[in-house]
């Protein structure tokens, strides 16, 4: 990237990384984070982080999407990696914009596909909490608080319909007719 400089390209309104030789623009875009509030009745699953940032603090199973996966597949993978949990996605609970970190977070509400969980490689421990047991002072990130609050406020209500990919092309791979 030694041939790239920061400048405002023609037709743009902000600085970008631009190749000095060919004017190719290397766009820098936000990262997508996916995760789930996994609940069973009045309890939610939290993971104590084994990695930085915020090692030792509690979070929901969440992390960066991988190339080639859907948002649902990413949330299911994160639940498995962090909590060895198999989940059923109920729907989109919230979408958060974390501009200072260039993140978009898509948080789902989920239940157990099968019972059982244990700490994965990125977790020190994994535990279910009732609302009054949640260790609020040890929550890792503001968006985890927001997601838990959203779950609590709507826990007994159906989620609004989220317009995800249609069933016939759930991975977005079919060409246009």
The pLDDT tens digits of the residues spanning 131-163 come to 999 999 999 999 999 999 999 999 999 988 777
CA distances from 99 to 53, 59, 147, 165 (A): 17, 20, 17, 26
Q: Return the CATH number of 31-154, one of 3.30.465.10, 3.90.79.10, 3.40.190.80, 1.10.10.10.
A: 3.90.79.10
- 175 or 34: which leads in pLDDT: 34
* Mean pLDDT value across residues 1-14: 89
Report, as an integer, the average pLDDT of 77-92. Answer: 97
Which 3 state secondary structure label does DSSP give 38? strand
The answer on pLDDT for 1 being more than 70 is: no
Give the domain ranges of the chain. 31-154
Q: What is the pTM of this model?
A: 0.89
Q: What is the pLDDT of residue 163?
A: 72
**Mean pLDDT across the chain:** 94
């Amino acid at each position: 990237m030694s041939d790239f400089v920061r400048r405002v390209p023609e037709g743009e309104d902000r600085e970008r990384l631009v190749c000095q030789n060919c004017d190719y623009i290397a766009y820098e875009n936000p990262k997508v984070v996916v995760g789930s509030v996994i609940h069973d009745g009045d309890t939610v699953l939290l993971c104590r982080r084994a990695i930085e940032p915020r090692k030792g603090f509690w979070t929901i199973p969440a992390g960066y999407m991988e190339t080639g996966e859907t948002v649902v597949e990413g949330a299911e993978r994160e639940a498995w990696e962090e909590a060895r949990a198999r989940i059923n996605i109920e729907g989109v609970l919230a979408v958060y914009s974390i501009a200072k970190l260039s993140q978009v977070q898509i948080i789902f509400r989920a239940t157990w596909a099968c019972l059982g969980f244990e700490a994965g490689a990125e977790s020190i421990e994994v535990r279910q909490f009732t609302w009054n047991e949640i260790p609020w002072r040890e929550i890792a990130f503001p968006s985890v608080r927001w997601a838990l609050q959203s779950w609590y406020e709507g826990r007994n209500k159906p989620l609004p319909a989220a317009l995800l990919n249609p069933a016939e092309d759930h991975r977005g791979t079919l060409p246009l007719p």
